[in-house]
Amino acid sequence: MLTIGKVIFKGTDIIILFAACALTVWLYSTFWFNSTQQGEAEALLVQFADNPPTEYSLSEERVITVEGKIGSSVIEIKQGKARFIHSSCRNQFCVFHGWLTVLGDTAACLPNRISIRLKGAFSDYDALAGSQ
């Protein structure tokens, strides 16, 4: 039993109060402090040359075909990840890049001038080094 002023907290009150305090601290540490965890990607930005990017939700699985400088690039969104599955270039580096999984990660088909990038509200990094 805990007494603050005239108020008496009994077993259940104390548990609720303790749980609420713990929840507050946990929310704080998760969303403000835990910088080593990677933020979650929410959308895919697909961009041709320096045109404004088109945004696609990562929650909806789909295959997107985008026309670029030399032909089409085909991009797959699946289970919150994205990748090139085909492009009109010969070397297919963009396809070899594989899945983009980290917020801020980018892959590009340079000959076709098409880039894809994962976007999210809370990125832990301002940029990725050695990303291409």
Q: How far apart are CA 19 and CA 124, in angstroms?
A: 28
Phi/psi-derived region of residue 105, left when phi > 0, alpha when psi is between -120 and 50, beta in every other case: beta
Token pair in block for residue 61: 């699985």
Binding to other proteins in span 104-123, by CB under 8 A: 104-106, 108, 110-113, 115
Give the C-alpha separation, 75 to 91, whole Å: 16
CA atoms of 112 and 68, how far apart (whole Å): 5
CA pair distance 120, 81, nearest whole angstrom: 12
Task: Quote the tokens at residue 29.
Answer: 């540490």
Nearer to other proteins, 44 or 115 (CB): 115
**Applying CB under 8 A, which part among 57-65, 72-80, 93-101 lies near other proteins?**
93-101
Tell me which residues in 18-77 interact with other proteins (CB under 8 A): 20-21, 24-25, 28, 32-33, 35-36, 38, 47, 49-50, 53, 70
**Does 3 participate in binding other proteins (rule CB under 8 A)?**
no
Binding site for other proteins (CB under 8 A): 4, 6-9, 13, 16-17, 20-21, 24-25, 28, 32-33, 35-36, 38, 47, 49-50, 53, 70, 88-91, 93, 96, 98-99, 101-102, 104-106, 108, 110-113, 115, 124-132
